[in-house]
A and B are shown apart, each in its own frame.
Chain A
Amino acid sequence: GQQVMQIPQYQHVQEGEDFTTYCNSSTTLSNIQWYKQRPGGHPVFLIQLVKSGEVKKQKRLTFQFGEAKKNSSLHITATQTTDVGTYFCAGPTGGYQKVTFGTGTKLQVIP
Chain B
Amino acid sequence: KAGVTQTPRYLIKTRGQQVTLSCSPISGHRSVSWYQQTPGQGLQFLFEYFSETQRNKGNFPGRFSGRQFSNSRSEMNVSTLELGDSALYLCASSLQGIGETQYFGPGTRLLVL
Q: Which residues of A contact B (CB under 8 A)?
A: 1, 30-31, 33, 35, 41-45, 48, 88, 90, 92, 96-104
Contacts and interface: CB of A to CB of B under 8 A. Distances in A.
Interface string B60-102: 0000000000000000000000000000001010000111011
B45 A99 contact: yes
Interface residues of B, number: 23
A31 B99 contact: yes
Contacts of B35: 101
Most A CB atoms within 10 A — which of B59, B90, B101? B101
A43 B45 contact: no
15 contacts: A1-B59, A33-B101, A35-B104, A42-B90, A45-B102, A90-B102, A96-B56, A96-B97, A96-B98, A96-B99, A99-B102, A101-B35, A101-B43, A101-B44, A101-B45
A41 B104 CA distance: 10
Contacts of A101: 35, 42-45
Contacts of A44: 104
A100 to B, nearest CB: 7
A69 to B, nearest CB: 14
